[in-house]
Structure 1
Amino acid sequence: MQMWFFMLFIVIVLPFIMFMCSFYFIAGGPKNINNIFGYRTGWSMINKDTWTFAHEYCGKLWLKVSIIFILASIVIMLCLIKTDQRVFVAVGFVIFIAEFVTLFFTINKTEKALADNFDIKGNRKK
């Protein structure tokens, strides 16, 4: 049973972090463009407008995705509570990989949104 709780923690930790960060990002993220914390890519760091847009867009994606993953992870793991340890560990691993891949998908989607809304100099497209 301890291993089941550990796996539940593992599959919930990444979407929980995304959930918590999403509110901060939706509010615009860090006030100043920096290299330490926030959504930091070449597109997002061009100027304050791209920085704020990227954080708000990514934050909205993370909020949706994190809620789905938290709920789905809990339901799936509850369905596996009585199964063999190898089964829930394997399923937990698959869930974690799916969460990790989805994290990169949200980055790709945010970069596309930046490219669709801004030119290479950071000016909004009309």
Structure 2
Amino acid sequence: MSPFVYVLTTNGLLFLLSIIFWKFPPKKINNWYGYRTHKSMLNQKIWDFANAIFCKNLLVYAGISFIGGLIFANFATIELSWQPMVLVLLSVLVSIIKTERAISDNFTEEGKEK
């Protein structure tokens, strides 16, 4: 498989999904679509806050991941195997960690605003 095709199907797909998630955020708390953790589903205010923060973070880090993957593909002397997937994993992990930290900084454990 071509390195560019591999990056497009991993990092590019994550970037596309982050754009869709950003353009069409979930309106109500549900079990199918959105940033769903115990903290984010406590009430509608936290739900809206968490999804807005997560969408922004994922868009930024998925974009960085996509550009990084394209750079890897451009300079690859061997076939890419795990490098683009590590970028995808890091993008998602950093987005989750930053979102959880923002929720903890702005809301109590009971779901009330600080």
TM superposition shift of 1:31: 1.4
Q: Is the 8 A contact 1:39 1:54 kept in 2?
A: yes
| In 2: Cα distance, 1:98 partner to 1:110 partner | 18
Q: Is the 8 A contact 2:29 2:47 kept in 1?
A: yes
Q: Is the 8 A contact 2:62 2:91 kept in 1?
A: no
| In 1: Cα distance, 2:99 partner to 2:22 partner | 13
Q: Cα deviation per residue 1:67-120 (whole Å; 9 max; x = unaligned)?
A: 21222222221222xx3xxx2323xx2221221133022112111110110011
Q: Is the 8 A contact 1:23 1:63 kept in 2?
A: no
SS at match of 2:80: helix
TM superposition shift of 1:7: 1.6
| In 1: Cα distance, 2:15 partner to 2:79 partner | 18
Q: Which residue of structure 1 lines up, in the alignment, with residue 74 of structure 2?
A: 78
Q: Is the 8 A contact 2:65 2:87 kept in 1?
A: no
TM-score computed with the length of structure 2 as normaliser:
0.85
Q: Verify: 1:61 aligned to 2:50, yes or no.
A: no
Q: Cα deviation per residue 1:2-54 (whole Å; 9 max; x = unaligned)?
A: x1143232332223322332333xxxx21110111111111110111000000
SS at match of 1:89: coil
Q: Verify: 1:21 aligned to 2:21, yes or no.
A: yes
Identity %: 29
Structure 2 unaligned segments of length 5 or more: list them. none
Q: Which residue of structure 2 lines up, in the alignment, with residue 10 of structure 1?
A: 9
| In 2: Cα distance, 1:21 partner to 1:58 partner | 9
Q: Which residue of structure 1 lines up, in the alignment, with residue 101 of structure 2?
A: 112
Moved over 4 A (4+): none
Match of 2:80, as an amino acid?
V
Q: Which residue of structure 2 lines up, in the alignment, with residue 32 of structure 1?
A: 28
| In 1: Cα distance, 2:66 partner to 2:48 partner | 26
| Higher CA-based Rg | 1
Structure 1 unaligned segments of length 5 or more: list them. none
Q: Is the 8 A contact 2:7 2:84 kept in 1?
A: no
